[in-house]
Every structure is written in C-alpha cells, then in structure tokens.
Amino acid sequence: MDGLSETRKKLVEAARVARQRAFAPYSGFSVGAALECSDGAVFTGCNIENSSYGLSLCAERVAIFKAVSEGRRDFVRIAVIADSHTPVRPCGACRQVISDLFGSQAEVIMANISGAVELRTVGEILPIPFDRSFL
Ligand code: THU
C-alpha cells in the first residue's frame, strides 16, 4: 500500500471491508471489490457463490451491477482484494465487464490482504477487447 494516494488507499480499504461479506462456502476464496465514481461515490461488492456453481458472481461484477442499477456509469477506478499470494487478478469475464463500463483508461487496483498492490489501466489488463463498435 506504500506509495498509494489516500483516495486509492481508501478504495482498497472499502474493498477489504466488503470482502468480509463474501459468501464463498464452495471455493473458500473470499473477494472484495470497490469502485469509485467521478464525484468520489463508492460502490462495493463481494463474491456470492451458489450450490449450482456456474451461478456464482464475482465481487467486481456485484459492485459494478449495483452501481449501474443505482444510475451510475461514470467510473474512474476499481479495487479488488483477496487473500492471495500476489495481488488478485480480475477474471476474464470481469475484465470484459470492466472494460465495457470503465473504458480503457480507467484504473484497476489489484491488492491482497497482506498489503501488496498493483496498479494497471483497464487497457493493460484487456488490450484488445470486444466492444460496442462491433455491434
Ligand atoms: N472471484 C472474484 O470474485 N473475483 C475475482 O477477481 C476472481 C475470482 C471469485 C469467484 C469465485 O467465487 C471465487 O473467487 C473462486 O474463483
């Protein structure tokens, strides 16, 4: 977390708190996410698993869908955190959803609960996305 701005530290902290509400009895892998809007508003999410495994939702998409359903789409960054050996990586499906709604310049803050963080742009983690231009 050293070297991270206060705003970014707060977002990682919001993701850490959200992770405590994860429902992950099948994988045992709890994840938290927090996204920040252009006016500083924050929406959080945690992974929510299901006994029909494929219905499980990742923390990132829970946070994003909560925010969109509340009328927000002006996202500037998203933080994701887990108890992983290195900062946790969003899965491919979440990268696609993040890319569509955040755009390639937005920030992805990957973190673990030991305090390791890695900052990338959306374009760096999904360089050649499918997007609306194909439709
Ligand atoms: N998971 C997330 O919530 N976000 C990620 O970035 C990676 C994976 C969840 C999905 C599943 O509930 C558990 O972690 C194990 O894959």
- State which amino acid sits at residue 75: F
In the prediction, which pLDDT does 3 show?
87
Place of tokens 């963080």: 117
Residue 26 Cβ contacting ligand 1 at under 6 Å:
no
Q: Which of 91, 94, 122 to mutate to test the pocket of ligand 1 (most atoms within 8 A of CB)?
A: 91
- Assign residue 45 a region (left: φ > 0; alpha: ψ between -120 and 50; beta: otherwise): beta
In the prediction, which pLDDT does 87 show?
98
In the prediction, which pLDDT does 123 show?
98
Among protein residues, the one with the nearest Cα to ligand 1's atom 13 is 29
Averaged pLDDT, groups of 10, the chain, 135 residues long: 93 98 98 98 98 98 98 98 98 98 97 98 98 97
Place of tokens 């900062």: 87
In the prediction, which pLDDT does 2 show?
80
* Superfamily designation of domain 6-134: Cytidine Deaminase, domain 2 (3.40.140.10)
Residue 94 Cβ contacting ligand 1 at under 6 Å:
yes
Read off the pTM. 0.97
Residue 59 Cβ contacting ligand 1 at under 6 Å:
yes
